[in-house]
Structure 1
Amino acid sequence: MMRIDKLEISIEARAYNDHSDIRHFGRVLDFASGLNLVVGDNTSGKTTLVECLFYALGMEELIEGKPCDKTLDKAVKSQFLYMEPNGNQHEWLVKESFVRIQLSNTNEETITVKRKIVSDDKQQNKMYVWKSPIMENMEHRDCREYYIHNRDDHNTEHNEGFYALLAEFTDLPIISVPARNTDKTILYMQTVFTASYIEQKRGWSDFFANIRSYNIINPKQKLVEYLMGYETNTDLVNSIGLKEKRKQFEKQWDTKVTAVKNYLAYNDLYIDGLETEIKQQKIELDELRIAVRSESVEIDTYIETLKQRIQELENKQKSSQEGNGSEQYLAVLKRYEQHTEEYKNYCIELVTEADKLDNIREQINYIESEMKRYDSLRKVNNIITTLDVKICPTCHQHLPSDISSQTALTLSQIQDSRNMLSMQRSFLVPMKKRLEAALKNKELNKLYLDKQLRKEEVEVKMMASQSNINLYPLSTNEQFELVDCKTKVATLDEVELHIKEQIELLARIKKGHQQVCDKIKELGDIEEGDLPTAKMLSAFRKLLRKFNYTSNNITNEVFFKEENTTYKYLPVIKHGENNEEEIRADSSASDFIRSIWAYYLTLLTDSKRHPGFLVMDEPCQHSMKEASLTHLFEECASITDKQTILFCSSQPKTEENEEEKEEMSSNLIEELSNIVKDKGLNLNYIEIDPKAITLIDN
């Protein structure tokens, strides 16, 4: 861990209207352990100081995701306004500027880091490090140079990467974590330091809103695991992982059993002995029996009964049709049945061809629509993106609608794509015409076959009448019964096959669940209360109570996400077993801010690895209660072995001053800080008046 002792901003500027007038501007801030309050008006430039602080640490990407000085205010890199003591305001142009920061660690080592902002050599990616506190005349020959934002800047085997130096200085090991598109990557210091900064613009919208993922899989989860040291306790990691697997098996079992029971109920069936909870399943799965609800018999017995009845009815029909038939009649009947089967197959083939034609027509319509879109795109000069095209011109697959990045298309690329579409259309249109002609001929042929089949049917009926044969020996009810029995047998056979597959899946789930339970038993079951996550949750809930969180029942409804998702270890609200929401979706705006206070402070105090400090830019959001702000200051002031730096507006909007609608005191933060001091707690109060960038000397 480390502590920020001092921040120095140095600016050499010349007057806009007199280039010979060169003066030294800047700001020096001295910080202490515990609570540091940096207070000023809304336009004083507090955020400029925050930006310079993280720029000095090489962490400027945490501000807006941009490297180098792109995140810095123009006051430190180009121009600013300064009001003279006589009230005259002049514009000043930045000639040269840099920032220095003094850091200390738990080994009582002190270093000074300097980083240039504006300079002739434009060396913004170089860090100059002295193994001493900040002094007036620090020569470059006494320092060592390091680099950032380049390959190997985290490589501990080299001696030139600044992040490797920072990791060693703060005792934060650089570890490997799973990555996308590759096997492993490292957990970068920029990702780790996300836990030390709540940015004003995005930081209050979500937990770790400004995190830099660097292709890491589930970066927020990996960050919390790193901070809390979960991955260093092998038994703990194994136990947690196994318990997660056990829950997954239990959830899979519950889902599968519910689906099986619903499927059976839909088919008037039920199964005895299949429990919804896997722990309650005592009967072996291969011993389970399915029964017909309306008949109260097992499904196999019922199917056998149906098959016997089908056989009786078919025998009756067959014996009547064939019993007294002549050879000539039987030959005509056989020919009729053969032609009937051929006619059915012909109709099926006809439907298939029609479907194929519809598919080709649909493809042509899509292509023509996209060709028109490309023609429209060529007529305009504004930026063209891939979002303007709905389907791929080569494979006709729909492009995803949630493309996060938009790639510009050139006019030549548009023309090439349109030519590709035109070529595909020229291939499909003749195919469509051939199919249409073929289908037309087949439709005519179908009419002929249908006419011939009706003639053969009349012939069969005439010969049956001459031979005294009853073509319909079954009564109407018996005919309906025969169809019903056949339908039931086919349906039940399909049900049996489906349920057999589902039982096999349940057997695999049960086997996997049992194996996981056995492994947990071998490790020795760790009580929930002994888990670091449980201790972290207890500390988090305690702070929620202190900060007056009221949107939900803290004890019974506030938890950490347990499933292995991007939100794992982050706060959620549970209303019952299966109703879970992220805490920001189920809390008032001010209560969500309280949860962010509580979560970051819990990580600061309970983490095994942490940079050791926490910066909050404008922690008073959404008309916070003054009592909650006071409790926040008290909590930060009581953490004396770590460091909190709060950049606050001197007159934030609170619930009280919004309701009173009366003239507010000049500095509410100062009043609240005095309340904290009266309780015997120390804090470092720094007032920025009137501007963060001020004249240092003449």
Structure 2
Amino acid sequence: MIKIHSIKALVTETEGGKFGFEYSFSSGLNILSGDNSSGKSTVLSCIYYCLGMEQLASYGNSDGLKECLKTSFKYNNQNFNVFESSAQLEISNQDGEMAIITRVIKSHYEEDPNLINVQINDGSPEEKFIHAAGDTDHSNGFYKWLSDFSKIPIPLFVDDDGTTQKILYLQQIFASSFVEQTKGWSDFFAQIPVFNTKKAKQKIVEYTLGLSGLIEEFELDKLKQREKEYKNVWTNTVETFQTITSYYNLITANLTETFTAELSPAKIAKLDLQTRDTKGNYSTLEQIISELNEKSRILTIKNTLEISKVTSDEILSKQEETSKKLALLNKELQKVNEQQVNEEIKIKNYLSTVDHLSREIEALEGINKLNQLQSFHVGAVENCPVCNSSLLTNPNIELKNIDRVDGSKSISFYKSERSLYESYLKSSQNLSERFDKIVNYYQEKIGELKNTLSILDKELLDDSRIPSRISIDEEMRIKFELEKMTKIRHQFKRFKTDLMQISEKLAQIRARKEVLKRHFELDQKKIYDFKNQFIDYLDKFGYSKEILSRIYISQEESNKLFPVVSVGTITPQPIRLLSSASDFIRAQWAFYMTLLVKAELHLGILILDEPGQHAIASADLKQLLKETSKNKNRQILVAISKEDKVTISENGQIKKVEVDLLNILEETKLVKDQDYKINIIDSHNRKDKCIQPMQH
């Protein structure tokens, strides 16, 4: 927090005369008053300017300063030209440090107004820069210094790779402290500079109230992104591995279906590969390897003994067994081919349906863009999106109207349908690819069995004195199969290790999201307190009673953390849309005051320029002064015209009333220099502007 002690403007006219102004302020309520056009906004603009916050009081590239500080001014009906000028602001922080900030406004000595002199306590002045790269990061950047001095840290999001991202800038944070006269009362934070910050207004409230969502929203987005990436890696890993194993007719039962974000490493470790033999029995990979090892051992022993020849009966028996296996595999292959054909038919139907829905969406979107619809052929859309009834009984029917057709709901329905069919299409395409692998597997096995039958035929004709062809071929085939299964087992172990690592990462993300969820619940308590204080101020400031009970702080993205009004079944509306001009001004008083008193991070000052100029009754302005005077540990600067006429509505009648500040203060019963400090821009009964001769 900071406290403003004084603001001074120094103006030298071309003949060397010294002019300007100087006003001091205290804690609590400060009133700056004077006649209309006396220069109240000029004084406040110098405070903005010295703090590098001119964007909050100006438009475009303007510095927000009046011409009396830059080009010319009038005093006692005489015009003076400005030769050079500067502004000087004295502030302190909560540690008791004093700082004098001096910034050039106009100079004939090539002094850069974007270089600001800062003197801490009795130290030497230091030059700081603004409006250039590094002004929030570099040790000589003015906003970096102001952030450190005011104990208002610039919020950053630090990613895992160490890169930082600014969430808000000081010029945006300070928008909760400054409300300028011309455009400042048109909306909440009306003058906030954007700086490509998404949802900047929402973030200001989050920052000021100390809500965890300010930074954790970035983290949550990152967590969701990483979660999605890890799940994609899981899916790709599973699909890649299943592509390999499906070639050998190996599967992990229901792997894709049983996987959820909660699948634990322990459950993954228990996963096993298995296959179904021609008799319909299932064997695990370990059982297959064990059986192949045993067969290989027996065949090796058999083929290393003296010539052993199988008998013709054994060969014939082997032929019969192999033929049965071949017939079963051909039958299985036929079933797979039939299933694949059915799946390909489904794919064609899904493609056709997606294309059909896309054309209907295109037609409806085209219709929805027409401002006036003269003729609409029913045949453009074949089915009713609600009841799905055909609209093609008479395709030449024309609907005549001159109103715009709102097809948004129909378009949403068709897009939902298309999305559903696209998901069906993807699943069928994946299944079709799996069928390709299974077909290859069966074709390879059928080829092996046909080769075995050919060897058996030759075996019947061979000389019984030579080793058995079938025994040698069988031994080689078994060893080759054993080598393949062993490699797959190694790949499967690595595959499970990869999945366990992904599972652990996902578990960490879930745990962190749970922590963020608990923080969100704490945020709700702060928002609830904020809402209650806001409503209390609205009531005190005379806001319309019939709307008051329907106001709450929105949690929806479009108006998140800003007041909205419930309007029955219709979407709640921003308070600005349902308030009268004067009521919305009261709502802004209440909003900025609530931020000031409920803030965890706030500049500690609130400047309100002409808060009563918009048809505000003096009774409500009086209440504003009474409420602001209660905040002794904060600093409120209110600029109010000493005398003014405002138009108000009273009992259905529009009338002009006089607003006399001194009378209002008297009616409040507030004590000058105890409950408030007042600076009046009026010297020697003249209505000159704030620029006055300065003592040398």
Query: The TM-score by the shorter chain falls in which range?
Result: 0.5 to 0.7
The residue identity in structure 1 corresponding to 2:588 is I
Question: How far off its partner does 1:183 sit?
Answer: 8.9
Question: How far off its partner does 1:176 sit?
Answer: 2.6
* 1:644 equivalent in structure 2: 636
CA distance in 2, matches of 1:635, 1:592: 18
CA distance in 1, matches of 2:114, 2:523: 47
* 1:176 equivalent in structure 2: 156
Question: How far off its partner does 1:657 sit?
Answer: 11
- SS of equivalent to 1:205: coil
Unaligned runs of 5+ in 2: 224-388, 394-412, 425-508
Question: How far off its partner does 1:576 sit?
Answer: 2.4
* 1:216 equivalent in structure 2: 197
Question: How far off its partner does 1:523 sit?
Answer: 5.6
The residue identity in structure 2 corresponding to 1:221 is Q
Q: Which whole-Å deviations, capped at 9, do the CAs of 1:171-194 have from their partners, x for residues lacking one?
A: 111123699xx9934421111111
* 2:23 equivalent in structure 1: 29
RMSD: 4.0
CA distance in 1, matches of 2:7, 2:419: 71
- SS of equivalent to 2:588: helix
Q: Which whole-Å deviations, capped at 9, do the CAs of 1:137-178 have from their partners, x for residues lacking one?
A: xxxx931111111110100xx321010000001111112369
Question: How far off its partner does 1:598 sit?
Answer: 0.4
Q: Which whole-Å deviations, capped at 9, do the CAs of 1:384-404 have from their partners, x for residues lacking one?
A: xxxxxxxxxxxxxxxxxxxxx
CA distance in 1, matches of 2:151, 2:546: 38
Query: Among 164, 183, 186, which residue is 1:202 paired with?
Result: 183
CA distance in 2, matches of 1:578, 1:150: 47
Matched, 1:142 2:101: no
- SS of equivalent to 1:142: coil
Tell me if the contact between 1:559 and 1:573 (Cα under 8 Å) persists in the aligned partners.
yes
Tell me if the contact between 1:529 and 1:535 (Cα under 8 Å) persists in the aligned partners.
no
- SS of equivalent to 1:579: strand
Q: Which whole-Å deviations, capped at 9, do the CAs of 1:261-314 have from their partners, x for residues lacking one?
A: xxxxxxxxxxxxxxxxxxxxxxxxxxxxxxxxxxxxxxxxxxxxxxxxxxxxxx
- Percentage identity across aligned positions? 31
Question: How far off its partner does 1:578 sit?
Answer: 3.8
* 2:288 equivalent in structure 1: none
The more displaced of 576-585 and 71-80 is 576-585
Counterparts of 1:548-563 in structure 2 under 5 Å?
A: 548-550=542-544, 552-555=546-549, 557-563=550-556
Q: Which whole-Å deviations, capped at 9, do the CAs of 1:322-357 have from their partners, x for residues lacking one?
A: xxxxxxxxxxxxxxxxxxxxxxxxxxxxxxxxxxxx
CA gap 1:652/1:143 in 2 versus in 1, 3 angstroms: same
Tell me if the contact between 2:157 and 2:165 (Cα under 8 Å) persists in the aligned partners.
yes
Matched, 1:114 2:107: no
CA gap 1:656/1:576 in 2 versus in 1, 3 angstroms: closer
Question: How far off its partner does 1:575 sit?
Answer: 1.7
* 1:123 equivalent in structure 2: 112
- SS of equivalent to 2:645: coil
The residue identity in structure 1 corresponding to 2:693 is L
Tell me if the contact between 2:157 and 2:215 (Cα under 8 Å) persists in the aligned partners.
no
The residue identity in structure 2 corresponding to 1:215 is N
Counterparts of 1:188-587 in structure 2 under 5 Å?
A: 188-231=169-212, 501=420, 531-550=525-544, 552-555=546-549, 557-565=550-558, 567-587=559-579
Q: Which whole-Å deviations, capped at 9, do the CAs of 1:232-256 have from their partners, x for residues lacking one?
A: 79999999999xxxxxxxxxxxxxx
Matched, 1:162 2:154: no
Matched, 1:62 2:26: no
* 2:409 equivalent in structure 1: none
CA gap 1:159/1:184 in 2 versus in 1, 3 angstroms: closer
- SS of equivalent to 2:46: helix
Unaligned runs of 5+ in 1: 15-20, 84-88, 134-140, 243-482, 488-493, 506-514
Question: How far off its partner does 1:651 sit?
Answer: 1.8
CA gap 1:132/1:590 in 2 versus in 1, 3 angstroms: same
Give the count of matched residue pairs. Answer: 415
Q: Which whole-Å deviations, capped at 9, do the CAs of 1:566-604 have from their partners, x for residues lacking one?
A: x32111111225431111110111000000000011111
* 1:671 equivalent in structure 2: 663
CA distance in 2, matches of 1:570, 1:7: 33
* 2:489 equivalent in structure 1: none
TM-score by length of 1: 0.54
Tell me if the contact between 1:170 and 1:611 (Cα under 8 Å) persists in the aligned partners.
yes
Question: How far off its partner does 1:224 sit?
Answer: 1.1
CA gap 1:528/1:2 in 2 versus in 1, 3 angstroms: closer
* 1:8 equivalent in structure 2: 8
TM-score by length of 2: 0.54
Tell me if the contact between 2:32 and 2:681 (Cα under 8 Å) persists in the aligned partners.
yes
Question: How far off its partner does 1:697 sit?
Answer: 3.2
Tell me if the contact between 1:100 and 1:112 (Cα under 8 Å) persists in the aligned partners.
yes
Matched, 1:94 2:82: yes
* 1:72 equivalent in structure 2: 65
Q: Which whole-Å deviations, capped at 9, do the CAs of 1:435-485 have from their partners, x for residues lacking one?
A: xxxxxxxxxxxxxxxxxxxxxxxxxxxxxxxxxxxxxxxxxxxxxxxx99x
Q: Which whole-Å deviations, capped at 9, do the CAs of 1:23-52 have from their partners, x for residues lacking one?
A: 111110101111111001112111111111
CA gap 1:46/1:123 in 2 versus in 1, 3 angstroms: same
Q: Which whole-Å deviations, capped at 9, do the CAs of 1:212-239 have from their partners, x for residues lacking one?
A: 1101111111111111111279999999
- The structure having more radius of gyration, on CA atoms, is 2
Tell me if the contact between 1:231 and 1:237 (Cα under 8 Å) persists in the aligned partners.
no
Tell me if the contact between 2:647 and 2:656 (Cα under 8 Å) persists in the aligned partners.
no
Tell me if the contact between 1:636 and 1:644 (Cα under 8 Å) persists in the aligned partners.
yes
Tell me if the contact between 2:212 and 2:519 (Cα under 8 Å) persists in the aligned partners.
no
The residue identity in structure 2 corresponding to 1:697 is Q
* 1:653 equivalent in structure 2: 645
CA distance in 2, matches of 1:195, 1:163: 17
CA distance in 2, matches of 1:677, 1:119: 46
Matched, 1:608 2:614: no
Question: How far off its partner does 1:199 sit?
Answer: 1.3
